[in-house]
Structure 1
Amino acid sequence: MMSARLHSVEEATNQAYEIFLEMAPDNLSEEDIELFNEHREEAGFIEDSEPDESWAAFVEYEIEPEAFVQVLVGLEVDEQDVLFAKILISRDIDAPFCHVVWLRGQQ
């Protein structure tokens, strides 16, 4: 059996951030985009981790922790995290997959 060819966690995280930037104008309010753009240099963060349990509600198959990365994109403002998106991205080079849950601007 061939093992999957995987992107590094860093590569997958960078891809997730690129997807976030590309999709943000269609999924966040203008206020949120202004807030993010104004503060991302000094207060922005991109945090990667193992996917948490919440993805079961969005994805119909089992998520193997070593094949996926969960990425949070946000700002740390006044010692409080303002999350804009939670992203599940595949590290498998041959099976690209990405799902974004937008956490703001959904009014």
Structure 2
Amino acid sequence: MQDLELWTLDELCDHAFDIFEELASENLSAEDYALYQQHYESRGYADLAIPGEDWVEMMMQDLEPELHYEAQIGLTGENGAPDMVLARILLSREKHESLCHAQWRGQ
């Protein structure tokens, strides 16, 4: 792992947001996309997490916790409501690996 060129976690969040912004209008319902557009400045978030077993099953390969992260992008809840996760994006920290898979809300 020493020879790999890695994204920092902040860069990985920015990268995930870039992917989300590029693909959201095509993959979210019109209602969810409009809601995101209306509230992203005040309630938008991206969190990084270790990929769960559902990703391992979907990818049919083991994922390395030091290299692979799930970015959850969505809107924070209001008045105690739960957060709305709009997309889960599986990414690699390795800058030259093209791994990128997304699961979108409602799909």
Provide TM-score, normalisation by structure 1.
0.88
- Describe the SS at the equivalent of 2:42: helix
* Aligned-partner Cα distance in 2 for 1:103–1:31: 11
- Identity %, equivalent residues: 33
Q: Matches of 1:76 and 1:95 in 2, distance apart?
A: 30
Unaligned runs of 5+ in 1: none
In the superposition, the TM-score normalised over structure 2's length comes to 0.88
Q: How far has the Cα of 1:26 moved from its partner?
A: 1.0
Question: Structure 1 CA distance, aligned partners of 2:2 and 2:48?
Answer: 26
Structure 2, unaligned stretches of length 5 or more? none
What is the RMSD computed on CA atoms of the aligned residues?
1.6
1:14-93 equivalences under 5 Å are 14-78=14-78, 79=80, 80-93=82-95
Could you report, residue by residue, the CA deviation over 1:15-52 in whole angstroms, capped at 9, with x for unpaired residues? Answer: 11110110111111111111011111111111112222
Instruction: Give 4+ residue runs of structure 1 displaced > 3 Å after superposition.
Output: none
